[in-house]
Structure 1
Amino acid sequence: MTEQVAIEGSDDAPVDPDDLDDVAVVRPTVNEWLGARTLPQILLTCAVLLWTAYFTQRSLDIHHGLGTSSYDSGLYDQGMWLLSRGEAPFITLMGRNMFGDHTSFVLLLLVPLYWIAPGAWIMFFSQSAVIAAGAIPVFLYGRRRLESEWFALIAAGTYLLHPAVGWANLENFHPDSFLGLFIGVALYAALERKWKLYGAFVVLSLLVKEDVSLVIVPLGIWVALRRSWRIGLITVFGSLWFMFTAMYVVMRGLIGQPTLNAWRIPFSQPGDGTGAAARRLIDTAVTNPTQLADHLRADGRPWYLWQMTSPFAWIFLRLPSVAMISALVLFTNVLSTFWYQYQVQYHYALVAVPALAIGTVYALGAVKSKVTVQSLEVPLRAVGIGALALSSFVAAFMWSPMPWGRTVLFHGDPDNVYAVTMREIIEEIPAGASVAAHHRVTPHIAYRTEIYQFPNPFRVVLYGPDRELEGIRLSERADRVDFVVLPTSEDENVADDFAVIEAAFVEVAANQFWVLYERDRSDPLPGN
């Protein structure tokens, strides 16, 4: 039996079809395949597995120690649980359809796990696993480009040690985490001209979120210029079409508008849609560029760029085209008025890391292995790898949530008194009951059709797509609430809201830190 095998060309030159030969293919047995694994491959596998186990455990400890919240843990848990029960994913924790908030269709891949063993482990294990697996495409590309699996292992390690990668593991749960793997594989496939693999992971990337085009469009442009103009243009226009469809068909059809985040565009005014906000930004950039420059320098934004790029020792500047695929994401993060977007501790930063990591490998591959200086051979590429390793380690020590770093870590204690007493209280709540609860409690009772973050639905706060509803009561929903779970502490800013409805509820369980109230149907809800 024969099949065609492509002869690998140089990194930037197209492969000549005439170089393809029919060669006999011998399929190795499992034992032969395992025996052929090298020490760097084994070490990478161990690193990915240990990373996944460590961060899964830390995430679950934080979750069970009441370190997660309605946003952004409970809402995804409720949405996927509803889908697993064949129901529409209308998230009562935020008052809108899960796919109207973001078109994260990738979450459908996790729904079957809710048929088998529903639980928070699904979110936190999958998140840690896909983020850790993002080191694999860095290694796969690096071993050929750098002509050394040991160098490739170090490059993969710089991805894992990047501050944005570690923090993304610990920030509740976000579908964006899948991009650590998906974007990395798409880049690797583009560089290696593996077009079927490339197409599959471009599609998977687009299914993560409506705005992934911010990195897929630059990837498509790079492919058009350096690999295949046809595939590149299909990528660009296909991703733009998907973004338009996701926002103006899916999201607008579900929540009445294409996005809820127009306010993040600087210089926008309350009530502006995306188009109006963009026009104000462009007008400011043209008529008052100094104001825009001041905005880009303000609030630590340059420090964010330093933290994102310094772990790679800026080696990618030697040949920057691949790393520049992340430039649009970095720019929009810095441009945003939303503080979280230009902080390395939040998930918005992760999207840029694969292109920076693989772009560094791409640039380092252009450095000669050795140069001769006054009859002395200098291993120049090895020097670059050493600089990369040192820079990555220092950045990880300074800013990553590593157990050996200087960052003060919150590991979470599932047996802390607040968590233990909370679990005692929620055991009293019947399955399927409608509940309004403190935001630290809601992620632990999310498997029900109606669960609200108090004071919703009695007083609307950050609920639904219509901000004009803020402060009002959703009477029909409020009347269906069976239980309320609140902390006993008076500094939780819930006493005033509960005082308004207190006459319609009876205390049924309490301990030192939590109180459970049940609706007394004999009394009408005050204010209805």
Structure 2
Amino acid sequence: MDVDVAGAPTLVRGTIGWQRGSRVPPLPGAPAAKWSRHWVGVGAMAVVAGFCYALYSYLRFRQGGYFGWDLGIFDQTVRAYAHFHLPYVTSMRHDYAGDPGKLEWTDHFSPILVVLAPLYWVSNSAYNLLFAQAVLFAAAALPIFAFARRRLGDSAGRPTAAYLVVAVYLLAWPLQSAFAFDFHEAAFAPLLIAVLVERADVRRWRAAAVAAGLLLLVKEDMGLVVATTGVWILIRGDRRVGAWFAAAGLGAMTLVIGVVMPLEGGSSMRNWQYGELGPTPVRAGLRLLEHPSLFVTELIDPHVKVTTALLLMLPVLFLCLRSWIVLLAVPLVVERYFADVPFYWHTDYHYNAFLVAIVVMAAADGASKLRWPRLRLGWAVAALVVSVALLPGFALWGLASSSLWQPSDSVNAQEQLLGEVPAGADVLMPWPSDPYTGGRVHPINLHFTQTAPEWMLTSDMTADVAALNRTLPAGSSHARYVYYESYEGWTIGRLVTVAVVQPSWAGKA
């Protein structure tokens, strides 16, 4: 026997039967019509949540309120895919006029972004990515519901607790922090991780393997999640399958970081952010062995790490700690907390979006171990109450603020001025302007250029030209720009003269 999505036993032919060590509790059968109705119900929840995510993102985008750096990078990346080009990003490198930029694969390995390319065939806007992110985050509600219903569904066929778990996920602050901070490859993580866990839970190994394979295309470190999924499967009794998942995850990550990214012109040390532990993985490992207390201190110092960890588990009332599924989050937490990059440790940004589906599903599994159904339902109600109480501190609460709905002329001014620049030109511009090029021009960043572009978009030309000249390499050009056109506080400047700056020792005997 095997178990279908609803959890009811079904007869199958030619497949591995019910395996020893299974912890999947058979759910008392519910009529197919009711199951379909539940899918419609949870689908409606996902649509409403996705609409709210997309609405917030749209209002913020039209206000020019995004950081812009990451959104601009991914806009150039997916736009290149849409035109069947390699994903070169000019804002990350500009060494000479016409430089195509840096290959995005050498920064992070996220080839799954190619699936978003068709969006640019319909609409020529970086908002495509923010909309896709909203849809992907909301879509994870479906596998989370299927998993929670098996764990928490009651004998009357009313999966009330599962609905509440879905609501807890959809209100989760890590999702809000992510869509409030540009677009990132993390958009794919909750959905694929949720599918991976849900399919592995019912031992549908082929579907789980597909989800794992797609997850490996999200980011170079997702092999850690696949590997720990293998450990979880092994603990549940499927040793051979678990070993395969663990080996595949670690092997794929090693291949990508050690071979694929360097072959593309990147470095296997690109994301080595552990300088305080050692300059290489071997040196860092030796230091940890010599000073085992670092395993503790690096996880709790500074205390913001503890605050973030507690806030991750608070909405589920810490019941995630009662499930082995929480193992999937451990390597991602260690990866961030051991790094010497402060913004990895906070609740802002997108990093916690990789963890949210794991935490919620682990909590549902932990709650299933409570003895009485009413106690499980009580936990789900309390978790939702906490999630709602946390809303004022995060992005969705902004929908109730009149300031988010106020129109802004700034974005329109930037788009109008960039339309006056010749197509295909290199334009120096601030990060928040990068997503508004429409693909007509190449955005150049002040800190990643070795030469002065012909054009500049600026709200303070004097300051930006001075900053550019300080940034350019010693002995290179000294740039001067003149006003070309201005509108609503923004200006297009054009390079008119370039004087070579002589080194201080030039001409001396």
**TM-score for both structures, normalised by structure 1:** 0.80
Q: CA deviation at 1:507?
A: 1.9
Asked if 1:431 corresponds to 2:423, the answer is yes
Conserved 8 A contact 2:370-2:376: yes
Where does residue 381 of structure 2 map in the other structure?
A: 386
Q: CA deviation at 1:177?
A: 1.5
**Cα offsets for 1:393-412 (capped at 9, x unmatched):** 33x33543232899x89737
Asked if 1:130 corresponds to 2:136, the answer is yes
- Map residues 341-352 of structure 1 onto 2, 5 A cutoff: 341-352=344-355
- Map residues 142-153 of structure 1 onto 2, 5 A cutoff: 142-147=148-153, 148-153=158-163
Q: CA deviation at 1:291?
A: 5.4
| SS state at 2:52 partner | helix
Where does residue 114 of structure 1 map in the other structure?
A: 120
Where does residue 411 of structure 1 map in the other structure?
A: 404
Supply the distance in 2 between the matched residues of 1:237 and 1:187 (Cα, whole angstroms).
17
Aligned CA distance change for structure 1 residues 390 and 237 (closer, same or farther; 3 Å):
same
Look up the equivalent residue of 1:144 and give its one-letter code.
R
Supply the distance in 1 between the matched residues of 2:150 and 2:109 (Cα, whole angstroms).
36
Q: Which moved more, 1:211-220 or 1:432-441?
A: 432-441
Q: How many pairs does the alignment contain?
A: 467
| SS state at 1:508 partner | strand
Gaps of 5+ in 1: 19-31, 371-378, 458-472
Asked if 1:325 corresponds to 2:331, the answer is no
**Cα offsets for 1:337-368 (capped at 9, x unmatched):** 21222112221111111111111111211222
Where does residue 23 of structure 2 map in the other structure?
A: none
- Map residues 197-216 of structure 1 onto 2, 5 A cutoff: 197-216=207-226
Supply the distance in 1 between the matched residues of 2:379 and 2:3 (Cα, whole angstroms).
33
Look up the equivalent residue of 2:458 and give its one-letter code.
L
Where does residue 260 of structure 1 map in the other structure?
A: 270
**Cα offsets for 1:209-253 (capped at 9, x unmatched):** 110122211111111221522222221111222112211222111
Aligned CA distance change for structure 1 residues 218 and 9 (closer, same or farther; 3 Å):
farther
Asked if 1:364 corresponds to 2:370, the answer is no
| SS state at 1:260 partner | coil
Look up the equivalent residue of 2:384 and give its one-letter code.
A
Conserved 8 A contact 1:506-1:518: yes
Aligned CA distance change for structure 1 residues 409 and 256 (closer, same or farther; 3 Å):
farther
Conserved 8 A contact 1:504-1:526: no
Gaps of 5+ in 2: 11-15, 21-30, 94-101, 503-509
Supply the distance in 1 between the matched residues of 2:418 and 2:309 (Cα, whole angstroms).
44
Where does residue 484 of structure 1 map in the other structure?
A: 456
Supply the distance in 2 between the matched residues of 1:503 and 1:191 (Cα, whole angstroms).
62
Q: CA deviation at 1:76?
A: 0.8
Where does residue 433 of structure 2 map in the other structure?
A: 441
Conserved 8 A contact 1:138-1:184: yes
Q: CA deviation at 1:41?
A: 3.8
Q: CA deviation at 1:4?
A: 9.3
| SS state at 2:492 partner | strand
Where does residue 396 of structure 2 map in the other structure?
A: 402
Aligned CA distance change for structure 1 residues 288 and 524 (closer, same or farther; 3 Å):
same
- Map residues 80-229 of structure 1 onto 2, 5 A cutoff: 80-95=78-93, 96-147=102-153, 148-229=158-239
| SS state at 1:322 partner | helix
Aligned CA distance change for structure 1 residues 341 and 17 (closer, same or farther; 3 Å):
closer
Where does residue 16 of structure 1 map in the other structure?
A: 18
Q: CA deviation at 1:524?
A: 4.7
Aligned CA distance change for structure 1 residues 48 and 507 (closer, same or farther; 3 Å):
same
Supply the distance in 2 between the matched residues of 1:116 and 1:37 (Cα, whole angstroms).
32
Conserved 8 A contact 2:171-2:387: yes
Q: CA deviation at 1:100?
A: 1.1
| SS state at 2:355 partner | helix
Supply the distance in 2 between the matched residues of 1:429 and 1:74 (Cα, whole angstroms).
18
Q: CA deviation at 1:443?
A: 1.7
Q: Which moved more, 1:417-426 or 1:185-194?
A: 417-426
Where does residue 445 of structure 2 map in the other structure?
A: 453
| SS state at 1:441 partner | helix
Conserved 8 A contact 2:414-2:436: no
Conserved 8 A contact 1:78-1:448: no
Conserved 8 A contact 1:284-1:292: no
Look up the equivalent residue of 1:303 and give its one-letter code.
T
- Map residues 58-73 of structure 1 onto 2, 5 A cutoff: 58-73=56-71
Supply the distance in 2 between the matched residues of 1:197 and 1:288 (Cα, whole angstroms).
42
Supply the distance in 1 between the matched residues of 2:430 and 2:225 (Cα, whole angstroms).
37
Supply the distance in 2 between the matched residues of 1:404 and 1:519 (Cα, whole angstroms).
41
Q: CA deviation at 1:293?
A: 3.8
Q: What is the aligned-residue identity percentage? A: 20
Supply the distance in 2 between the matched residues of 1:5 and 1:321 (Cα, whole angstroms).
21
Supply the distance in 2 between the matched residues of 1:214 and 1:398 (Cα, whole angstroms).
33
**Cα offsets for 1:396-444 (capped at 9, x unmatched):** 33543232899x897375x324334323322212222222212222221
Conserved 8 A contact 2:89-2:103: yes
Q: CA deviation at 1:286?
A: 3.1
Q: CA deviation at 1:504?
A: 5.1
Where does residue 27 of structure 1 map in the other structure?
A: none
Look up the equivalent residue of 1:72 and give its one-letter code.
D
Look up the equivalent residue of 1:49 and give its one-letter code.
V
Conserved 8 A contact 2:320-2:362: yes
**TM-score for both structures, normalised by structure 2:** 0.83
Supply the distance in 2 between the matched residues of 1:442 and 1:103 (Cα, whole angstroms).
21
**Cα offsets for 1:472-513 (capped at 9, x unmatched):** x34xxx4xx3311111276x6653425986765432102452
Supply the distance in 2 between the matched residues of 1:112 and 1:518 (Cα, whole angstroms).
35
| SS state at 2:183 partner | coil
- Map residues 29-68 of structure 1 onto 2, 5 A cutoff: 37-38=36-37, 40-68=38-66
Asked if 1:311 corresponds to 2:315, the answer is yes
**Cα offsets for 1:72-96 (capped at 9, x unmatched):** 0111111111222222211111122
Q: CA deviation at 1:5?
A: 7.9
Conserved 8 A contact 1:155-1:361: yes
Aligned CA distance change for structure 1 residues 17 and 357 (closer, same or farther; 3 Å):
closer
Q: CA deviation at 1:35?
A: 8.3
Q: 1:518 aligns with which of 494, 498, 501?
A: 494
Where does residue 25 of structure 2 map in the other structure?
A: none
**Cα offsets for 1:316-338 (capped at 9, x unmatched):** 33x32112221221222222221
Q: 1:339 aligns with which of 310, 323, 342?
A: 342
Conserved 8 A contact 1:60-1:120: no
